[in-house]
Chain A
Amino acid sequence: ETGVTQSPTHLIKTRGQQVTLRCSSQSGHNTVSWYQQALGQGPQFIFQYYREEENGRGNFPPRFSGLQFPNYSSELNVNALELDDSALYLCASSLETSGRSEQYFGPGTRLTVT
């Protein structure tokens, strides 16, 4: 158990719909990173939030957006869902210092787009 929680566990949506996924970071952590993991692939970095600001973004279109709240929890929003968005969405929390900043992953949200 990493102390990182995500909701919901599973979700089924239709193409074109919008979805919001939630993540609560481990106590004391100030940074949340979101990853998309397609079946049989490694996680791909979507974006990172540090102290409520976006702190880096991977190669994902603008319909992927996020928020981080003052308590460091975070949301991932995806608009205009496409079939290829079906994946496991992972959030990872960390405490950003000048050190190793190990990331702790939540259990993930399995999104299926039909």
Chain B
Amino acid sequence: QFVLTQPPSVSGAPGQTVTISCTGSSSNTGAGYDVHWYQQVPGTAPKLVIYRNSNRPSGVPDRFSGSKSGTSASLAITGLHTEDEADYYCQSYDSRLSSSVFGGGTKLTVL
């Protein structure tokens, strides 16, 4: 259903590192369009944590990092904190749909 594919869930213990993947196709991520990442704590609006594949907005801890290669992108969170528990969404642009597109979201559980 979603143009960008994310794993439904990931988990990690405090202090560990987790990685969330986002896979697209030749009309979006594979066409060179940037990937952006959002954190959404339940009951709140999404918050931008990574833009243009690997850039952090002001105020986002450097524990958050992003990368992109080919049709796939990844969000890594190192040194997990309990407050990192949230849903994470990737977003890009699809030239075939002429639309901004999102992944289905990944629920991060901090054990």
Q: Are the chains A and B members of one assembly?
A: no
B: residues with CB less than 8 A from A are: none
User: Which A positions have Cβ atoms within 8 angstroms of B?
Assistant: none
